[in-house]
Structure 1
Amino acid sequence: MLINKKIYLILWVIIALTLSLLFFFDQFFIQILIIGLLCFITWTISPKWQPQLGREISKINTTCVAFGCLIYLAWIIRNSYTGFSIFLLNQVLFHMGEMLHVAFYKFNEIKWGSYLINHSFGYNLAISFSISEYFLESSLFNKNIYIFIFIGFLTTLLGHIFRIGAFISAKQSFHHQVQSKKASDHILITSGIYKISRHPSYFGFFIYSLGQQIIMINPISFIAYVPVLYKFFISRIYLEEHYLYQFFGYAYQEYSARTPVLIPFIEYFLRF
């Protein structure tokens, strides 16, 4: 467990180092050189530190240089594009949160894909569409409406709490993919954040995604996200609960009867 925690800590150290150097050297040309040098160092040295991971650890660590750059970008645009700057910070925290679970509890499965940056074509399309809407509408009207940004920020914060809380509560029993076969270490989790929601990671991602659109004041993306998210989670939860009933029988039936999903109205759709 210690080595896993060390790896995750080093990822944040790389982010902090990148950010610190960019703040210290504020000339653009020097910043480009710093970014290039950090990418080269992390790419070449990382496999020597963790040879069993090969180039995966190079990609993992170099991505943290990019995360440091995104945080720096969020800082310098914070006044002109407040909503988008918070959106960027949320994206870094979200993807680092996904890596947290694998680094701590499933180190043998760690890979660049553990960030879930390449989750799916649909996910990347949705992100691209929401960013495009933000900047298009920013050219037409002021999007720095702080009451919406604040509400959206609180919503995404709650989403982070539920999502990361699910990782910490379930530990090695949490999986990014629906499991059709019960692993030896797969147990029914009903404690921690699972006392509040029986699918806290799904609820967390649901409100996080909508909160991001509130932060950026994207009315079109917000409306479009709702049916897409419902379609995804209805099919996902239906399939997952099918296997959970097979794995744990009456124990899961009893647990699901007393513990809601928390995504509004989704219990109704799960009946069909």
Structure 2
Amino acid sequence: MSETMQNAGAGPVNFSPSAAHHRASPTHHDSFSGNSRSLDELMTLKPYFAGQPKSLSGIALRAFCLGITLACSAISMGAILFLTTSPAWRVPFFLFALSAFHFLEFWTTAEKNTLVASIGSFLLTANWPGYAIAHSAAFTECAIVNLFFPNRHWAPYGTDPILLLLGLVMVAAGQYVRSVAMLQAGASFNHHVQTRKKDSHELVTSGIYSVFRHPSYFGFFYWGLGTQLVMGNILCFFAYAAVLWMFFSKRIKHEEAKLIEFFQDDYVQYRKRVGTKIPFIA
């Protein structure tokens, strides 16, 4: 990651086979040709083998697919924008935003919380099937409206450009806040609410956490709403707002009960100082 040489002497050689001369090669427990590893080493590496939670081949495949999808959606978006007058560029825009989001979910985890980075860190199947249904509905509404009703006025009083710009700002700002929050929290961040305090858990109150109490939730909330503004989805905008608000309201309540248990009065005082900046979630 030997051959045994015979001694060619002038006289006869009294050769007696023994364990030293005929030692069987160690049994290989993995797929690496010519490389013998102990069982302990193999068990340590097992999570990185194909089909395992941290499979390197699985991670590479997903990153490759996300990169191809991001590139194709960017090319499609640019072609529609510069070669036609159709508003259908909004469809590949959503695919572009989703590809960037899921890649950054894994990258930020791998960068600052390496030990827990896995295939699941891409969040491609998170909250399945509700997550997939929500995005499918957004794609469907946007495609139907922009392909069959391209001249419809979905925003009141000619505010289409303003709402479009607002949506783009919300998508960019939401993604930035979420990614920075994950990087600054490091090992203290996890995609799942933790029920036990680990030695690596620290109460992060500086940086972006001094502005938002749950910056990753704030970021995704406004990122999601921003995508629907850009796409011009009236129905999905309000549906996203309702579903995301209910999801984060319930999750924050559950998570903060654990955070108070972990950090006691330190978290209580932090919660008093810093808000979530999500409407009606104090």
Q: Same fold (TM over 0.5)?
A: yes
Correspondence for 2:218 = 203
**CA 1:104–1:76 in 2, change beyond 3 Å: closer, same or farther?**
closer
* Residue 140 to residue 233, structure 1, CA distance change in 2 (3 Å): same
Q: TM-score, normalised by structure 2?
A: 0.73
Aligned to 1:174: 189
Paired residues of 1:143 and 1:217 also in contact (CA < 8 A): no
Q: Quote the offset at 1:147 in angstroms.
A: 4.1
The structure in which a higher percent of residues are helix is: 1
The aligned counterpart of 1:88 is 95
Selected match of 2:130 from 117, 122, 133: 122
CA-CA distance at 1:85 after TM superposition = 2.6
2:151 and 2:143 map into 1 onto residues whose CA distance is: 9
Aligned pairs for 1:30-109 within 5 A: 53-55=48-50, 56-78=55-77, 79=80, 80=86, 81-109=88-116
TM-score by length of 1: 0.75
In structure 1, distance between residues paired with 2:99 and 2:167:
16
Measure, in 1, the Cα distance between the counterparts of 2:146 and 2:76: 13
Structure 1: any 5+ residue segments left out of the alignment? 1-50, 268-272
Cα offsets for 1:143-162 (capped at 9, x unmatched): 89654332211101110111
1:265 is paired with a residue of what secondary structure?
A: coil
User: 2: distance between equivalents of 1:143 and 1:195?
Assistant: 44
* Distance verdict in 2 for CA 1:237–1:194, change over 3 Å: same
Query: What is aligned with 2:149?
Result: 141
Does the 8 Å contact 2:171/2:227 carry over to 1?
Answer: yes
Assess if the C-alpha contact under 8 Å between 1:155 and 1:208 holds in 2. Answer: yes
Q: Do the aligned residues in 1 keep the contact of 2:193 with 2:255 (CA within 8 Å)?
A: yes
Note the alpha carbon deviations across 1:180-208, whole angstroms, 9 max, x for none: 11111101000111010110000001000
Q: Distance in 2 between matches of 1:253 and 1:236?
A: 17
In the superposition, relative to structure 1, how do residues 246 and 151 fare at CA in structure 2: closer, same or farther (>3 Å)? same
- 5+ unaligned residues in a row in structure 2: which ranges? 1-44, 81-85, 153-159
Judge conservation of contact 2:109–2:183 (CA < 8 Å) in 1.
no
Aligned partner of 1:153 in structure 2 is 168
Q: Counterpart of 1:186? A: 201
Rounded Cα–Cα distance in structure 1 between residues aligned with 2:69 and 2:94: 10
C-alpha distance in 2 between matches for 1:108 and 1:146: 44
Q: Percent identity?
A: 34
Relative to structure 1, is the Cα distance of residues 139 and 86 closer, same or farther in structure 2, using a 3 angstrom cutoff?
closer
Shift of 1:115: 0.3
Deviation at 1:105, TM superposition (A): 2.9
Letter in 2 for 1:250: D
Of residues 256-265 and 52-61 in structure 1, the stretch that sits farther from structure 2 once superposed is 52-61
Report whether the alignment pairs 1:164 with 2:141: no
Displacement of 1:224:
0.8
Segment of structure 1 superposing worse, 63-72 or 160-169? 63-72
Structure 1 vs Structure 2 CA RMSD: 2.4
- Deviations along 1:160-179, one digit per CA (max 9) or x if unpaired, are 11101111111100011111
What do the CA deviations read for 1:8-62 (whole angstroms, capped 9, x no partner)? xxxxxxxxxxxxxxxxxxxxxxxxxxxxxxxxxxxxxxxxxxx651122112111
More divergent stretch after superposition (67-76 vs 178-187): 67-76
Greater Rg over alpha carbons, structure: 2
Which SS does the other structure have where 2:148 is aligned? coil
